[in-house]
Structure 1
Amino acid sequence: MAADPKQLKIVKNLNSRGIAFAIDRVPKTNRVFYGSSDFKVYELDVGAKKPDSKALEGAGHQSYVTCVVLAGKSIVTGSYDCQLVWWDAGTKKQVRAVKDAHAKRIRRLAASPDGLIVASVSDDMDVKLWDVATGKLKATLKDHKPMTPHHYPSMLYAVAFSHDGKLLATADKVGHIVVWDVATAKKVKSLEAPVMYTWDPRQRRHSIGGIRSVAFSGDDRLLAVGGIGKIGNIDHLGGPSRIEIFDWKAGKRLHQIEDGKFKGLVEQISFHPDGNWFVVAGGDHNGFISIYETKSGKLIKQEKAPMHVHQFVVNEDHDTIFAVGHQKVVTWEMKVPEPKKKPAEKKPAEKKPAKKKKG
C-alpha cells in the first residue's frame, strides 16, 4: 500500500521500560528491539494483543544503552559504558562483548545494508568499523576534532551508511560533517553546518547543540543533517529544530529549515525511497514528528509527539513509523485510506402474480 504523509497519525502508544534511547526492527514484522536507561535491551512485539517488553539474556551493559542495530542474524548494541555487545537475534542471548570498544561514551551505531559491517561513533571522536561476524575492528577513521573552537570537549553524535553501502556519513557537535569511502576508510568529502553549534560566553561559558542525525536520500545524492539552531537559553533546549540538506558531492547546501513551533533537537531523519519527502523527529522536553517535501523544503504534516523522540525506524512500505523516547514506544501510520465501498444496490422486489379467485 502506498504511503501518504498527510495521513500521519498515532495508532499505538505503549510504555517502555525506562527511557528508550534506540530502536531497530526485525524486517517485515512488528517486532522491535530497544535500548533503555535501565542498562537493558528489550524485545517488544508491537503488534501483539498484549505487548510486553522482554529483556535479552546476558551480562549486557553497565550504563545507558544508547544504540541498537540489527545486522544479519545479530543484534549489536552500544552504551555509555564504552562496550559493544553482540546478541543472537534468534535466541535473544548475548554472544560477545567488546570492552573498551571506544575510550568514551558510544553515541550511535549504523549497520551496513548487507549486515556485514557496523559503524560506531563516540565522544572519543573516532569512527570505527566492525566486522559483524567476528566482532573484530576493521578500521578506525579519524577527522573529527576532540576539542571545540572554544577549547571544550567535542562530541560525535551521528552516523549513517549510504543505501548502496559504499559510503558512510558522520557528524559532530560543532557541525563538521564527513563522508567516507567504506572500502578504503578514506575521507571523500567534508561539509560544515556551524549554525547547529551554540557557544555562550556570558552566562555559563558553555557550548551546546550539535548535529544529532544524518541520512542519505534513497539515491544517495542528497545528505540531510538534523540538530538545533542557535539556542537562547543554554539551560534548556530553547532553540528551533533545524535541518540542512546538501548536494554533498557538489558541496552545495540546498535547504536550511528551522521550526520555532516545535523546538529542540532533530534526533532522526529518514527519506522516502523515491526522495520526494522525508520524516524527522526529536524534541526538547516535549516531542515532535514532522514531514517535509524534499524539493521545496515545505512542511507537509506535523504532529506533537507524546514524548521526546530519541530514534525511529520505518517499515519497508514506508507507511509505518516505530519510535522510542521518554518512557514510550509509539507507532505512527501514513497509510492511504482505502476507498469506501459503495453500498450494494437493492434489486426491486419481484411482484408475485395475483391469485385467481375461484368461481
Structure 2
Amino acid sequence: MPAKPEQFKTVKEHGFKAICFSLTLRPNTAKVVFGASDFKVYEADFAATKFEPKELYGHESYVTGVALAGTKIVSGGYDCKLSWFDSAANKMIKSETAHGKWIRGVHASKDGKTIVSVGDDMVAKLWDAESGKLLHELKGHAEKTPTNFNSMLYAAAFTDDGKTVATGDKVGKIILWDVATGKKTGELEAPVFYTWDPTARLHSIGGIRSLAFSPDGKTLAVGGSGKIGNIDHLEGKARVELFDVATSKRTWEHQSDKFAGLVNHLQFSPDGSWLLGAGGAAEGFYLMLDPVGKKSIRQEKAGMHIHDVTTTPDMSTLYVAGHNKLAICECKG
C-alpha cells in the first residue's frame, strides 16, 4: 500500500534500557537490527507477541551506525571500530579500527554492495560490503572549524543508483563524491546549520546531521538545526534545506514553526512526492514535507528524541529508534 503522510500515526512503542542510536530493517520482515548506548548490537522482531531484543554482539563504546549487506551486519561506534557480523552463521567475521576518532555513521548503498562510514577524523571511507575491503578514503572536510576548534563529520547518504555519496560536516559543508573513483565531484554550503558562540561559551553546536537524495538523484535534502541562541541547549528550530545537485544552488529552506532540535534522519518517498524528517531535542518530532510544492504537510510530536528511522521500501511503515524507546509508525489508510 502506498505511503500516505496524511495518514501518519504511531501504532506501537516499546521501552528500552538504553539509547538506540541507529537501526536497519531486514528485508521482507518486521525485524530490525539496532545499535545502542550500552555498547551492544541487537535484533528485535516487532511482529513477535512479546518484544524481546536479542543481543548479537558488542563494541567497546556507543554503537552509532548499523547497516545490512545480505546476511552481514556492519556496525560502527565510538570505539572507532567497524565490525562485520554474519547473522546467518552467528559469528563475527572481522572487527577493526577504521577511523582515528569516533565513528558517527554507517550506511549501505541501496543495492547493498557498498558501505560508507564517517568519523570525527573528518574522513569518509568506502568499503566493499561483502569482503570488508577498503575501497577509498574520502578526504576533503577540514579538521578544524574557522575558529580553530575540532570539527565533526556526522552524515552521509548514497544516491539510489549507488554512484554518488554525499558527506556533511559540523560547519555546514557538504561534499559529493564519485563512488567508483573516490574523487570529489561537487561541494555545497549550508552555514546556517552551524552556530558559534564567541563570547559566552567559546563553543559551537549544530552541523549537518542528515542527508538524503531524491530518487532521481537531482535534489539533495540537508537536515539539522537552525541558528541557536543558547548553545547549551538544542533550542534552534528544526531545519531542512533542499539543493539542486547540478547547480549546487539552494532551492528551498524549511524551518519548523513548531519544533526545535536536530533533524537526524531524512528520507524521500519512492516517488519523490514527499520527504520525511525526524529528530529531536528533549522531545522528538516528525516532519512530513512537500519538496515539490515547497510546503509542510504535517508536523507531529514523537514523544522521544529520535536518532534514526528505517522503513519498508514503500515507506508505509516506519521503525524508529530513540532515547530509551523504539516505535513503529504507519503512513497508510
In structure 2, what is the Cα distance between the partners aligned to 1:3 and 1:130?
32
- Are the equivalent residues in 2 in contact too, given 1:56–1:94 (CA < 8 A)? no
Distance 1:16 1:24 in 2: 17
Aligned partners of 2:94 and 2:110: how far apart in 1? 22
Distance 2:315 2:89 in 1: 28
Q: What is the rounded CA distance, in whole Å, between the counterparts of 1:159 and 1:224 in structure 2?
A: 11
Q: CA deviation digits over 1:259-310, x for unaligned, max 9?
A: 1421000000000011111100000111001101111221111211121000
Structure 2: which amino acid aligns with 1:215?
A
Residue 95 of structure 2 is matched in structure 1 by 97
Partners of 1:265 and 1:283 within 8 A in 2: yes
1:114 CA displacement: 2.1
1:245 is displaced (CA, Å) by 0.4
CA distance in 1, matches of 2:272, 2:95: 38
Displacement, 1:131? 1.7
Q: Any residues of structure 2 matched to 1:204-243 within 5 Å, and which?
A: 204-243=201-240
The answer to whether structure 1 residue 190 and structure 2 residue 187 are counterparts is yes
1:47 alignment partner in structure 2 = 47
- Return the alpha-carbon distance in structure 2 between the equivalents of residues 297 and 287 of structure 1: 23
Q: Match of 2:80?
A: 82
Which of these two proteins has the greater Rg computed from alpha carbons? 1
Paired with 1:93 and 1:242, the residues of 2 have a C-alpha distance of 41
What is the aligned partner in structure 2 of residue 339 from structure 1? Answer: none
Distance 1:273 1:188 in 2: 25
**Which of 196, 200, 204 is the matching residue for 2:197?**
200
Aligned partners of 1:198, 1:319: CA distance in 2, in Å?
Answer: 35
Question: Aligned partners of 2:69 and 2:234: how far apart in 1?
Answer: 33
Identify the match of residue 275 of structure 2 among 275, 278, 284.
Answer: 278
Match 1:144 to one of 116, 141, 155: 141
Whether 1:176 and 2:173 are equivalent positions in the alignment is: yes
CA distance in 2: counterparts of 1:211 and 1:86, whole angstroms:
27
TM-score by length of 1: 0.91
Aligned partner of residue 301 in structure 1, secondary structure: strand
The offset of 1:47, in angstroms, is 1.1
Contact 2:69 2:130 in 1 (8 A): no
Which deviates further from its counterpart, 143-152 or 246-255? 246-255
What is the Cα deviation at residue 62 of structure 1?
A: 0.5
| Aligned counterpart, 1:72 | 70
Report the 3-state secondary structure (helix = DSSP H, G, I; strand = E; otherwise coil) of the residue aligned with 1:21: strand
Structure 1 residue matching 2:98: 3-state secondary structure? coil
User: Is 1:108 equivalent to 2:98 in the alignment?
Assistant: no
Q: Which runs of 5+ in 2 are unaligned?
A: none
Please state whether the residue corresponding to 1:188 is helix, strand or coil: strand
What one-letter code is carried by the residue in structure 1 that aligns with 2:71? K
Any residues of structure 2 matched to 1:259-338 within 5 Å, and which?
A: 259-336=256-333
**Contact (CA 8 Å) 1:28, 1:316: kept in 2 or not?**
no
The structural deviation recorded for 1:143 is: 0.6
The whole-number CA distance in structure 1 between the counterparts of 2:201 and 2:315 is: 43
The offset of 1:316, in angstroms, is: 1.6
Counterpart CA distance in 1 for 2:4 and 2:153 is 34
Counterpart secondary structure, 2:192: helix
> Secondary structure of the equivalent of 2:176?
strand
Provide, for residues 141-186 of structure 1, a one-character-per-residue CA deviation record: whole Å limited to 9, x for no partner. Answer: 1110000011100000000111000000000000000111000110
1:274 is paired with a residue whose SS is: coil
Which segment drifts farther, 147-156 or 16-25?
Answer: 16-25
Tell me how far apart the structure 1 counterparts of residues 302 and 116 of structure 2 sit (CA, whole Å).
29
Question: 1:25 — aligned with what?
Answer: 25
Bigger Cα displacement from structure 2, 14-23 vs 87-96: 87-96
Report the Cα distance in structure 2 between the residues aligned to 1:292 and 1:91, rounded to whole angstroms. 41
More strand by percentage: 2
SS of 1:38's equivalent in the other structure is coil
Give the TM-score taking structure 2 as reference length: 0.98
1:158/1:213 contact within 8 Å kept: yes
Q: CA deviation at 1:4?
A: 1.1
- Identical-residue share of aligned pairs (%): 51
Question: Contact 1:21/1:35 (CA < 8 Å) preserved in 2?
Answer: yes
| Preserved contact between residue 308 and residue 325 of structure 1 (Cα < 8 Å) | yes
Distance in 1 separating the partners of 2:219 and 2:320 = 24
- Runs of 4+ that moved beyond 3 A: none
Let me know the Cα RMSD of the aligned residues: 1.0
